[in-house]
Amino acid sequence: MKQYKPETASPKPCSCPGRISGTLSRRGFLQNSQAGFGWLAWQALAQASPTPLHRPKAKNVIFCFMDGGPSHVDTFDPKPMLEKHQGKAIGEAAVSKRSQSDANRVWLGSPWKFRQRGQSGLWVSDLFPHLARVADRLCVVRSMVGELPLHGQQNLLLHTGRIIGQAPSFGAWVSYGLGTENRNLPGYVVLNNDWVPNGGLENFGSSFLPASHQATMMRARGVPVDNIQPLNVARIQKRQLALLAEQDAAFARQSSEAKSIEGAIANYETAFLMQTAVPETADIANEPESIRKLYGVDSADEHQRLYATQALRARRLVEAGVRFVEITCPSFDGNNSPWDQHGMLKQNHEKNARITEQSVAALIIDLEQRGLLDETIVLWAGEMGRTPHTPAINASVGRDHHVNGYSLFMAGGGFKGGMAFGETDEFGNGVVREPLDIHDIHATLLHQLGLNHEQLTFRHGGRDQRLTEVYGRVIRPLLA
């Protein structure tokens, strides 16, 4: 398998302090770079980031992660047969080993009405009134298939392409593949809403890729990033960091983990530059009132207000050049995955929709108004769907984990709007046409970013590793 071999530039000679015998000493390089160690950081980044293979349609990704698994049959995949047969046993033929089911479970219709929306006539349920208004921008996939009906494994599969994790996240691969557009900001940011999904921080890690490609976490409440305010004046801080970088560089020359150390040096550089850039980008106070209202920043619901703040920050981050931004969902009870409604389906799905969907729709509208939607992919996805059946019909009825068929959507970035791709059976119990897995979605998203998923590799453990493993294909019918 071909491995990227990016060209790197050699530093030009210069006449500045620290030159020794016509070349610049390491201390001279460190002392005369912007933060005291910028050249080393640049070298680490330059050696780590390949370049696009073909002309990209998009430059950035905003991933709206719907943690817990929103119900496909209550959102984008209407199934009238569920309402018609509600309360009837599903029978042996509908039992699946890959989702929670047995023959005595009964079909459960959707409590929300579906309607055709926009000029395209895309079906969207009343659960999502704001997303319904941007239906002509949505490219819905109704035929996703997962591997295991477990949150942790499916989250890791969604983020890293492997149910066991131990691999870089999708955002890290994008950062590695495209490099940075803004040296003052990280290439990969997770806008966290005080909830770490099942699977843990490995969902956002860089694993064997250089550490400079792991996610920077930005919280919704309080100071966005820890330790962002310097303790010393810039002059002293530069000298301290220069010494630290010089010591690390010396250690790297003697270590078998030189790439990891170089990545850490690159992170020092980014962290230094972030001290000004992050507070400015995270501050939405100067956004027009109309934009703040569009996102729902003025909501009386605290969770909605915080999610709206993060969604607006996501637009500001991609506008500033961040390659990959992920927005997580808040857990409104602080204990369970947000969309994981085994009970109280109607009450809690409506609560999650109220918290998130206005802001997601606003993000699409805002990006389009600014001319950024064509170059930004908005991905909306959970790790799984939910069963079209339930143990019993009662006042607290809910749906369980389901990986045999579920839905997600993309908007912008060269994807067709107002379309639904693939099909589940008449009960939404399994895929009957165009089954896709997350590797297909990863491959297609990378393609739109100008990257070939088969050639975006990194040598580790004796072989060329990639996000899509040995799977994945570009799904061209999704593309405009």
pLDDT (tens digit per residue) in 13-28: 333 333 233 334 444 4
How many domains in the chain? 1
The burial of 26, by beta-carbon neighbours within 10 Å (0-12 exposed, 13-18 middle, 19 or more buried), is given as middle
**Kind of pairing, strands 389-390 and 376-381?**
unpaired
Between the two ends of the chain, the Cα-to-Cα distance in Å is 30
| Per-residue pLDDT reduced to its tens digit, 238-248 | 787 778 778 87
Residue 173 confidence (pLDDT) above 80:
yes
| Per-residue pLDDT reduced to its tens digit, 419-468 | 999 999 999 999 999 999 999 999 999 999 999 999 999 999 999 999 99
Rounded Cα distance between 437 and 145, Å, is 5
Q: Which two tokens stand for residue 239?
A: 């000298």
| Per-residue pLDDT reduced to its tens digit, 356-402 | 999 999 999 999 999 999 999 999 999 999 999 999 999 999 999 99
Residue 51 confidence (pLDDT) above 80:
no
* Residue 149 falls inside a structural domain: yes
Rounded Cα distance between 319 and 362, Å, is 15
Most confident among 31-40, 91-100, 193-202, 386-395 (mean pLDDT): 386-395
* Residue 243 falls inside a structural domain: no
Residue from 55, 63, 51 nearest 438 by CA: 63
Kindly report the average pLDDT of the chain as a whole number.
88
Structural domain including 85 reads 52-228+285-478
* Residue 14 falls inside a structural domain: no
Question: Taking the CA atoms of the chain, what radius of gyration do you get in angstroms?
Answer: 24
Rounded Cα distance between 261 and 251, Å, is 8
CA-to-CA separations, 110 to 117, 172, 349, 408, in angstroms, rounded: 18, 37, 11, 18
Rounded Cα distance between 143 and 155, Å, is 18
Rounded Cα distance between 220 and 218, Å, is 7
Contact yes or no for 135/122 (Cβ under 8 A): yes
pLDDT at 455: 96
* Residue 39 falls inside a structural domain: no
* Residue 31 falls inside a structural domain: no
Residue from 310, 216, 311 nearest 267 by CA: 216
> H/E element holding 464?
strand 463-465
Rounded Cα distance between 416 and 427, Å, is 26
What CATH code is carried by the domain that includes residue 298? 3.40.720.10
Residue 232 confidence (pLDDT) above 90:
no
**Angle between helix 438-448 and 170-178 (nearest 10):** 20
Rounded Cα distance between 280 and 349, Å, is 34
What is the 8-class DSSP label of residue 89?
B
**Kind of pairing, strands 389-390 and 406-411?**
unpaired
Residue 3 confidence (pLDDT) above 70:
no
CA-to-CA separations, 222 to 225, 226, 260, 287, 296, in angstroms, rounded: 9, 10, 31, 18, 19
pLDDT band for position 30 (cuts 50, 70, 90): very low
* Residue 114 falls inside a structural domain: yes
Rounded Cα distance between 318 and 377, Å, is 10
Residues 6+ apart with CB under 8 A from 301: 354, 355
The total number of residues shown for the chain amounts to 480
* Residue 408 falls inside a structural domain: yes
pLDDT at 149: 96
Structure pTM? 0.86
Place of tokens 């606003």: 362
Residue 220 confidence (pLDDT) above 70:
yes
Taken in order 20, 26, 29, 31, the sign of the CA dihedral is: negative
pLDDT, mean of residues 282-302: 97
- Beta bridge partners of residue 53, listed in sequence order: none
- Beta bridge partners of residue 406, listed in sequence order: 144
* Residue 247 falls inside a structural domain: no
The residue type at 417: G
pLDDT at 375: 98
Contact yes or no for 387/101 (Cβ under 8 A): yes
pLDDT at 227: 67
Pick the residue with more confidence: 111 or 32? 111
Pick the residue with more confidence: 371 or 335? 371
pLDDT band for position 161 (cuts 50, 70, 90): very high
Rounded Cα distance between 262 and 44, Å, is 5
Residue from 409, 401, 296 nearest 355 by CA: 296
Residue 47 confidence (pLDDT) above 70:
no
Contact yes or no for 403/428 (Cβ under 8 A): no
Rounded Cα distance between 23 and 10, Å, is 12
Rounded Cα distance between 159 and 326, Å, is 11
